[in-house]
């Protein structure tokens, strides 16, 4: 096995992605790797009732607050991980999750991506396939997928 110095662990803060984070922590400790915790904030699609109606300042403020909360949550998670792993950094991106995960892996550069096979689901999953599947197809490095323990075969 080649040297795994930088491990990228994307999280959407779901219980399933937390399992992947826990697995990544154990692996990083075993290999002496550093961890990059990544969260990709995907702005919600907001369709106004009338095409000519601009977003109100309240909606813009709400979107900013939601994004700020996600960044705070990432920083809290990083503090928890820092108590278990020597090298931890955070990466916060705004965009399409699979695209930003692949881009971050290239920028770091990551030697391994550790991520859950299931996270938040919904219409985006139905339309584009899973984020994990797209990352596996496009990643510049190996991807270790972690299946949630309680998931049936």
Do 39 and 12 touch, CB atoms closer than 8 A? yes
Q: Is 108 helix (H, G, I), strand (E, B) or coil?
A: coil
Alpha carbon 71 to its chain's center: 12
Task: Give CA–CA dist 130/9, Å, rounded.
Answer: 16
**CATH number, domain containing residue 40:** 3.40.50.620
**Across residues 39-66, what is the average pLDDT?**
76
Q: In angstroms, rounded to a whole number, what is the distance separating the alpha carbons of residues 43 and 136?
A: 23
Q: What total number of domains does the chain contain?
A: 1
Q: What is the DSSP letter of 124?
A: H
> pLDDT of 105-146, one tens digit each?
999 999 999 999 865 554 444 444 588 999 999 999 999 999
Count of alpha carbons within 13 angstroms of residue 148, beta-carbon side: 12
Assigned domain for 1 exists:
no
73 within a domain of the structure (yes/no): yes
Please indicate whether residue 114 or residue 59 has the higher confidence score (pLDDT): 114
Alpha carbon 69 to chain centroid distance? 15
Is 89 among the domain residues?
yes
In a domain, 151, yes or no: no
Each residue's pLDDT tens digit, 63-78: 889 899 999 999 999 9
Q: Which residues contact 53 (CB under 8 A, 6 or more apart)?
A: none
Q: What predicted TM-score, i.e. pTM, was given to this entire model?
A: 0.85
What pLDDT score does 34 carry?
96
Which residues span the domain enclosing 132?
Answer: 6-146
């Amino acid at each position: 096995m080649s040297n795994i110095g930088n491990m990228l662990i994307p999280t959407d803060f779901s219980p399933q992605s937390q399992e992947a984070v826990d697995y990544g922590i154990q692996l990083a400790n075993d290999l002496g790797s550093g961890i990059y915790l990544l969260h990709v904030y995907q702005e919600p699609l907001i369709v106004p009732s009338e095409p000519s109606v601009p977003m109100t300042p309240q909606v813009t403020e709400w979107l900013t607050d939601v994004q700020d909360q996600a960044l705070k949550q990432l920083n809290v998670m990083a503090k928890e991980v820092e108590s278990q792993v020597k090298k931890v950094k955070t990466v916060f991106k705004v965009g399409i999750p699979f695209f930003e995960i692949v881009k971050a892996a290239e920028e770091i550069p990551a030697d391994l991506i550790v991520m859950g096979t299931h996270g938040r689901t919904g219409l985006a999953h139905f339309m584009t396939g899973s984020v994990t599947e797209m990352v596996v197809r496009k990643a510049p490095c190996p991807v270790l997928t972690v299946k949630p323990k309680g998931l049936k075969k």
